[in-house]
């Protein structure tokens, strides 16, 4: 049995799939004020200046402050303890609660099923044929729902937000300097530059500080490409890589690689596909081939994730 499966996985085979079971179930986060998050991250960086994650977290907080304003920002309640002196606190990019009290992922689940005309229970054979399309529709709509509410910025004027932008870029680059193989740090820098470009475009009368320029879509897309490559397992197949490493007695190596690159691989790949699929992208022959490679890799990654 694969290392990635849980020991208590049921042995029975379900011939009907309930698509609603794919909605993510995450406990409600704690909301922490911006000043408290920054103070905590600065204290952590002062205590651990040699750790790239110190600067990643500082970059993350400044990034969100530029993007969303004064906060407060959600922190996963089961993963961190904001009051712990030696605990690294990473805010996420979840939007405020829905006014109707619902869950974005559940709404996106229902939307994808409605678009494809699916009943609540469908035969397993049919699910295997349409699952990739269902997930693409679900994920795209989820991003749309989330971004519509994340885009509401409150509490900070433009000049203050620009200061946060400057600090975000500086800290992400410092994390990359300390760990050049850190795919998460490169992905985060690319995400910031994309957010910066979109925010400037959407802000009437926005003026940039001297020396700061907006990055081109091609340059940002290339950063996502580099992050995807950094995060890719040898051979590009997560399942094959994990099984080979574990069978060779290198379980810790496989686990460490997953911990460092697992999230960045998926998110950088999805970001590259999104940007490369725009009508204005004008891809070269090599970029089109790479886009096909990314799509194949994401499909293999999806199969890996389903193994638990």
- Per-residue pLDDT reduced to its tens digit, 133-175: 888 888 788 777 766 655 565 678 889 999 999 999 999 999 9
Q: What integer pLDDT is reported at residue 151 of this predicted model?
A: 57
Q: Is residue 18 part of a domain?
A: no
The whole domain housing 75 covers: 29-95+162-180
Q: What integer pLDDT is reported at residue 42 of this predicted model?
A: 93
- Examine the pLDDT at 26 and tell me if it is beyond 70: no
Structural domain total, the chain: 3
Q: What is the pLDDT of residues 11-21, one digit of tens each?
A: 333 345 555 55
Are 63 and 188 a contacting pair, CB within 8 Å? yes
3 state DSSP class of 176: helix
Q: What integer pLDDT is reported at residue 10 of this predicted model?
A: 32
Q: Do 185 and 245 belong to one domain?
A: yes
Q: Do 104 and 135 belong to one domain?
A: yes
Q: Do 249 and 308 belong to one domain?
A: yes
- Sign of the CA dihedral running 144, 145, 148, 153: negative
pLDDT band, very low/low/confident/very high, at 70 (cuts 50, 70, 90): confident
Q: Is residue 11 part of a domain?
A: no
Residue 43, φ and ψ in degrees, nearest 5:
-65, -40
Q: What integer pLDDT is reported at residue 222 of this predicted model?
A: 96
Q: What integer pLDDT is reported at residue 147 of this predicted model?
A: 65
Q: Do 307 and 229 belong to one domain?
A: yes
Q: What is the rounded (10 degree) CA torsion for 249, 253, 256, 260?
A: -140
Q: Is residue 17 part of a domain?
A: no
Higher-pLDDT residue of 190, 98 = 190
Region 204-219: mean pLDDT is: 84
Q: Do 68 and 122 belong to one domain?
A: no
Q: Number of H helices and number of E strands within the chain?
A: 10, 4
Q: Is residue 83 part of a domain?
A: yes
Higher-pLDDT residue of 120, 117 = 117
Q: Do 106 and 71 belong to one domain?
A: no
Distance CA 22, CA 43 (A): 39
3 state DSSP class of 272: helix
- Examine the pLDDT at 48 and tell me if it is beyond 70: yes
Q: What integer pLDDT is reported at residue 302 of this predicted model?
A: 85
Running DSSP on this structure, what letter comes out for residue 235?
G
Q: What is the pLDDT of residues 82-97, one digit of tens each?
A: 444 556 667 766 555 5
Region 22-31: mean pLDDT is: 55
């Amino acid at each position: 049995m694969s290392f990635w499966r849980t020991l208590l996985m049921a042995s029975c085979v379900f011939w009907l799939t309930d698509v609603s079971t794919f909605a993510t179930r995450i406990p409600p986060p704690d909301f922490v004020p911006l000043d408290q998050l920054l103070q905590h991250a600065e204290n952590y960086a002062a205590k651990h200046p040699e750790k790239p994650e110190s600067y990643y977290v500082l970059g993350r907080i400044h990034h969100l402050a530029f993007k969303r304003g004064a906060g407060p920002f959600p922190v996963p309640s089961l993963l961190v303890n904001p009051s712990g002196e030696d605990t690294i606190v990473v805010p996420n990019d979840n939007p405020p609660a829905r006014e109707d009290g619902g869950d974005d992922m559940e709404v996106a689940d229902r939307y994808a099923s409605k678009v494809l005309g699916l009943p609540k229970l469908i035969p397993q054979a049919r699910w295997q044929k349409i699952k990739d399309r269902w997930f693409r529709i679900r994920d795209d709509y989820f991003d749309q729902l989330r971004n519509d509410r994340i885009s509401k910025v409150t509490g900070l004027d433009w000049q203050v937000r620009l200061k946060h932008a400057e600090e975000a870029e500086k800290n992400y680059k410092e994390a990359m300097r300390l760990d050049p193989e850190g795919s998460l740090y490169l992905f985060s820098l690319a995400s910031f530059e994309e957010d910066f470009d979109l925010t400037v475009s959407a802000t009437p009368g926005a003026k940039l500080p001297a020396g700061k320029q907006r990055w081109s879509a091609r340059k940002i897309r290339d950063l996502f490409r580099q992050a995807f490559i950094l995060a890719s397992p040898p051979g590009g197949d997560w399942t094959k890589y994990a099984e080979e490493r574990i069978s060779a007695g290198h379980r810790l190596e496989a686990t460490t690689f997953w911990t460092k690159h697992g999230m960045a691989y998926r998110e950088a790949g999805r970001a590259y596909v999104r940007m490369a699929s725009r009508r204005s992208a004008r891809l070269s022959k090599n970029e089109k081939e790479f886009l096909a490679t990314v799509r194949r890799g994401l499909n293999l990654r999806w199969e890996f994730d389903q193994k638990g």
